[in-house]
Amino acid sequence: MTKTRPKLLRFCVKPMHRICVATSNAGKLRDFAAAAGAVSVDVVALPNFKGIPEVVEDAPTFESNAQKKAEHYSRYAPGEYVLADDSGLEVDALHGAPGIYSARYASSPEHPNATDADNNAKLLGKLAIIPEERRQARFVCAVAVAKDGEILATFRGIAPGRILFEPRGTGGFGYDPLFFCPAFDKTFAELTPEEKGTVSHRGQAFRKMLQWFLDSDIR
């Protein structure tokens, strides 16, 4: 059966202001840059990000955490459009877990800095007896844009898939090696950045933000 692959959304626009992303995660920056490849957008890490006081991500939803971060970090970059995201994995068989706790799923007081490998191992353990037909999951991303401490807009992207029994692929980050994408018949870790950008939750949310930016009069 021939699979239909999503088409990359193309924009024909003049160059616009740069977007500063409030993250030190190289994987997230690659995802956003890949999604912006069709437009004249300069996607950069927020200057001096590591020197800015961190935000406690204690809000109950992806959207509210993204907004909290965007508002906070934009105060340290006057005049810049600052983007922050909160994203995670929701697994149906785990009642939506790990959800907003995805990045720290395997963390504990004794082991506060869980790695991607730790989180993946815990997820596989939780799903050990769950058959393939019940391993549906989705990646969710909320993106918020702020300027000078004011939230301008928030967007959501969702990528459906399922969790494999073992990792595949060497690209990506986080749960990508376990997340099977039906559109490409590959895991996210097996996709090129450009392929991932067409279907990922982060790419979807970012493209919605770009379209809003182009259609608005804030520039």
- Parent domain of 135: 19-215
pLDDT attached to residue 212 = 87
125: in domain: yes
Task: Assess contact for 36 and 20: CB atoms under 8 A.
Answer: no
Into how many domains does the chain fold?
Answer: 1
6 part of a folded domain: no
For residue 202, being part of any structural domain is answered with yes
84 domain-assigned: yes
Which of the residue ranges 15-29, 59-73, 123-137 would you say has the lowest mean pLDDT?
Answer: 15-29
Domain assignment present for 198: yes
Work out the pLDDT band at 28, boundaries 50, 70, 90: confident
The CATH number for 61's domain is 3.90.950.10
Residue type, 207: R
101 phi, psi to nearest 5 deg: -100, 15
Residue 37 scores a pLDDT above 70: no
Q: How many CA atoms lie within 13 A of 128 on its CB side?
A: 4
- pLDDT exceeds 90 at position 20: yes
Contact 204, 196 (CB under 8 A): no
Between CA 205 and CA 159 the distance in angstroms is 10
In the predicted model, is pLDDT for residue 189 greater than 80? yes
Does residue 98 have a cis bond before it (omega within 30 degrees)? Answer: yes
Which residues carry out catalysis?
A: 86
Give residue for tokens 């990508």.
176
pLDDT for the residue numbered 179: 98
**Does residue 8 have a pLDDT over 50?**
no
The answer to whether residue 7 scores a pLDDT higher than 70 is no
Residue 52 inside a domain? The answer is: yes
Label residue 4 by pLDDT band (50, 70, 90): low
DSSP tag of 4: P
pTM recorded for the entire structure: 0.85
- Per-residue confidence (pLDDT) for residue 25, from 0 to 100: 83
Please give the pLDDT value at position 12: 38
More confident residue, 10 or 125: 125
In a domain, 5, yes or no: no
Coil vs helix vs strand at 86 = strand
